[in-house]
Amino acid sequence: MEIRIDLAPKELRKAPELKSPPFGKIFTPHMFIMKYEEDQGWYSPEIKPFSEIKLHPAAIVLHYAQTVFEGLKVYWGIDGRIRLFRVWDHINRLNRSAERMCIPTLNSELVFEAIKTLVLIDKDWIPKEKGSALYLRPFIFATEGTLGLKVSREYLFLIIASPVGAYYKEGFDPVKIYVTEDYIRACPGGPGDVKTGGNYAASLKAQAIAQNKGYTQVLWLDAIERKYVEEVGSMNIFFYLEEELVTPMLTGSILPGITRDSVLKLAPLLGVPAKERKITIEEVIEGIERKTLKECFGTGTAAVITPVGKIFYKGRDYIINREETGKITRLFFEYITGIQYGEKEDPFKWTTLLED
């Protein structure tokens, strides 16, 4: 399918000052949109001026949350070239999420072409400051107008783009996280391992409680025994424990993060022993008390690597590494961002260069 292009008026295409832009509040002047109907499949791919969309009040997404999304970044490299980081992995995960939510999958080549075309049209909106990027949000949602609980026969697929700076106000300073024992994020057999809106809506109550108490994010425990560590907020979690980097193994309720996978693949090259396994919250607390847990960090596309300096559990704060960013955390942050900006060797060929 050929992508139709309708450019915004020239005066709307001029990029504003993009120094440390806030996360997710500024949008480029164009977006990609494509429709689906059961008897036609996906059709009418188009890049058009960024605008509001009309929805039937009974659209299935508004009532039953049949929707999936992705998040990936575009970087302006130090060599003046535009880089996408692990774009094909994000496209594949979008389709895996779609399958889980009974949404028709997309042609991967067409999605890549849509991303490439949109980015090149709005390339002046890619921040050039290191630490900033152009964040892409592909998403699909059900649009059929009915109050019956069913799989929709109609969908929209959009890609919007937003110049962004740091995700957290702390930047690369350690954040504080709050272990919730009252709420769960997901359970095995549920959709916790895919990017669907309902997962994130379900996390808001605990997150609001944590933030009202002065913590940045929530550390989730497993849904059954409430003792195994799973994720932290919108990130995967790593612990540098007993001279080994460990992260919770994927059990069906944890999102298989692409930055998480990047850390695990890079670890052997950087000389850091790394393992996926079950980790109890008691093991984490004991490691802090015995000082065998030396560092902790979260991983995700939005923030890349986020050091953790304090964990609240059962009425008490536990301090990690004097609330300072550790050398292992910094090592992975600098190497991954170095690949993203073209400063370091890309041993796994994760970056895709975009050319006009």
User: Which residues fall within 8 angstroms of residue 321, CB to CB, at 6 or more apart?
Assistant: 174, 294, 295, 296, 309
Per residue in 79-94, pLDDT tens? 999 999 999 999 999 9
- 3-class secondary structure, 118: helix
**pLDDT at residue 97, as a whole number:** 98
CA distances from 105 to 98, 100, 254 (A): 6, 10, 22
- The token duo for 349 is 């060929």
Q: What is the pLDDT of residues 228-250, one digit of tens each?
A: 999 998 899 999 999 999 999 99
Residues 6+ apart with CB under 8 A from 291: none
DSSP code, position 234: T
Distances (CA, A) of 221 to 200, 227, 248, 263: 15, 6, 11, 22
Question: Domain ranges in the chain?
Answer: 4-164, 175-340
Under the banding of pLDDT at 50, 70 and 90, the label for residue 191 is very high
Within this chain, domains 4-164 and 175-340 share the same CATH topology: no
Domain 4-164: state its class.
alpha beta
Mean pLDDT of the chain: 96
Answer yes or no: CATH 3.20.10.10 is held by domain 175-340.
yes
pLDDT digits (tens, 9 = 90+) for 140-177: 999 999 999 999 999 999 999 999 998 877 678 899 99
